[in-house]
A and B are shown apart, each in its own frame.
Chain A
Amino acid sequence: MKGIIIAGGRGSRLYPITKVTNKHLLAVYDQPLIYYPLKTLSNAGVKDIAVVSDNKYIEQFKTLLTSNGAFKDINFNFIDQKEAGGIAQALGLCQEFGANEPVAVILGDNIIEENVSSAIQDFFLNPNGAVVFLKSVANPERYEIASISNDKITQIEQKPISAQSNYAVTGLYLYDSQVWQIISGLKPSVRGELEITDVNLYYLKKNFLQYQILDKHWFDIDTFKILLEANIYIAKEKEVEI
């Protein structure tokens, strides 16, 4: 099973704490942020993992991840993102690593509390189409939102002004081997990036997009407030008195 962690970007919303530290290396209570998505993959048995990040942080990721005994059974690949151009662009740099096989993709700043191991394992047993993971949120205008009708995703919208649903698309995606061809055919969006939403929309159009709803906490770390909430949440899970 192959997995990809997307850990690039400038993290400018978290400046100045991201001025000399990659966002995915920031502390969340007692572990660097990237440990959380990494464990989501490795707990499911995904042992071939590519980490995509900016050139200047690759060495730090290597040092951090390969010297830790907890991850000794993982075969890491480190891929230089060169320039920021969207999540799907980062994915496109993994064509060789992916070798036309199915893949689990996770964003390096996503902490998913739910145990998704069986969903990942089931997908790899019979990879067919794509699976996204949805989480009900209070402020849908901040997220990519999936509308659902009769247990099917009918639409995906980026930060909708008047949302028809409050199910956010989280940063974990399972793709069958078609994904590599889809990415090769993507066109840049209005903001000039290759959008992961467009990959999901492609699967949606072909009627190959499945979903699972997450009941437990999901953190998409992109503000100081959410970073603090995640710190407190993780500490409480470890029964720390605050």
Chain B
Amino acid sequence: MRGIILAGGKATRLNPLSKVTSKQLLPVYNRPMIYYPLNTLIRAGIKEILIIVAPERAGDFLNLLGSGKEFGCRFTYEIQDEPRGLADAFIMGENFIDNENVALILGDNIFEYDPTHDIKLYNTGGKVFAKKVHDPERFGVVKFDDNMKAQQIIEKPKEWISDYALTGLYLFDKRCVEVAKNLQPSARGELEIVDVMNWYLDKGELEVATIDGEWEDAGTFDSLLRAHNLSKDKLQDKFVI
């Protein structure tokens, strides 16, 4: 299994904090934000990790994380000139993925949930993780049937379909690269990860697991603040790096 951390983007919602640093390098309590998704992958035994960064701060990521040796891993870097949607990570990472399975995690996602077993037991198809939230309209949302089987997935639905948001961790097999390459950009001009999920869902090969514990998508001042507290209270003994 290969790992990809997507840490690009401009994060204008966090200005002026992200004006001269990358959002994923902002502190979350006592570690830079990217250490949290990095820890999630490394704790699950993933050792080959691609880090996709924006050009402005690429040097900071290299200086902070280096070759990966310090973490017992091998890091590869790709520079994303313009954010083109989350699914672009699979296109940028094609050579890196090299026909293996891949775990994509967003660089601003902080999980209390430990997906080590999910990653170790994963074999084929798609596996994604959903969490009940108060503001589903901000996320990709999944509607379940009575047996908690995924029925429908919609990006930022205008009309309520469910309270289950899809979190920023995605496990796919090698087919995701071709799927991403064949996607049409959405109305907002992005290659949507939701469309990759829907491809697997249509084939009956998408598993959507609901997860326990807190989850923060640290894209606003308030979620960043909640992430500090989550880290201090619950994540300190979960670090392997």
A227 to B231, CA, bound (A): 13
Nearest-CB distance from A229 to chain B (Å)?
A: 10
User: CB-defined interface of A1-40 with B at 8 Å, one 1/0 digit per residue?
Assistant: 0000000000000101101110001110111100100000
Nearest-CB distance from B15 to chain A (Å)?
A: 9
Can you name the residue of chain B whose Cβ is closest to the Cβ of A241? B222
A-B Cβ contacts below 8 A, count: 71
Is B27 a contact of A26 with CB atoms below 8 Å?
A: yes
Q: Name A190-242 residues within 8 Å CB distance of B.
A: 224, 227-228, 231-232, 235, 240, 242
Is A68 a contact of B222 with CB atoms below 8 Å?
A: no
A43 within 8 A of B: no
Is A16 a contact of B64 with CB atoms below 8 Å?
A: yes
A101 to B30, CA, bound (A): 40
Can you name the residue of chain A whose Cβ is closest to the Cβ of B18? A27
Q: Name B1-44 residues within 8 Å CB distance of A.
A: 16-17, 19-21, 25-27, 29-32, 35
B232 within 8 A of A: yes
Can you name the residue of chain A whose Cβ is closest to the Cβ of B23? A27
Is B16 a contact of A20 with CB atoms below 8 Å?
A: no
Nearest-CB distance from A15 to chain B (Å)?
A: 9
Interface locus among A59-67, A147-155, A172-180: A59-67
Can you name the residue of chain B whose Cβ is closest to the Cβ of A223? B30
B113 within 8 A of A: no
A29 to B224, CA, bound (A): 8
Is A224 a contact of B29 with CB atoms below 8 Å?
A: yes
Interface size class of B (residues with CB under 8 A): 20 to 34
Known A16-B32, A20-B63, A26-B27: A235·B225 in contact at CB below 8 Å: yes
Known A228-B232, A232-B225: A67·B27 in contact at CB below 8 Å: no
Interface size class of A (residues with CB under 8 A): 20 to 34
Is A64 a contact of B16 with CB atoms below 8 Å?
A: yes
Is A32 a contact of B16 with CB atoms below 8 Å?
A: yes
Q: Which of A20, A27, A68, A224 contacts B17 (CB 8 A)?
A: A27
Residues of B participating in the A interface, judged by any CB pair closer than 8 Å: 16-17, 19-21, 25-27, 29-32, 35, 60, 63-64, 221-222, 224-226, 228-229, 232
Interchain Cβ contacts under 8 Å between A and B, 19 examples: A14-B27, A16-B35, A19-B64, A20-B25, A20-B63, A20-B64, A21-B21, A25-B20, A27-B17, A29-B221, A32-B16, A63-B20, A67-B19, A224-B30, A224-B232, A228-B228, A231-B228, A235-B225, A240-B221
- With contacts A20-B25, A20-B32, A26-B26 known, what are 20 further pairs, Cβ within 8 A? A16-B31, A16-B32, A16-B35, A17-B27, A17-B31, A20-B63, A25-B21, A27-B17, A29-B221, A32-B16, A60-B21, A63-B19, A68-B16, A228-B29, A228-B229, A231-B228, A232-B225, A235-B222, A242-B225, A242-B229
Residues of A participating in the B interface, judged by any CB pair closer than 8 Å: 14, 16-17, 19-21, 25-27, 29-32, 35, 60, 63-64, 67-68, 224, 227-228, 231-232, 235, 240, 242
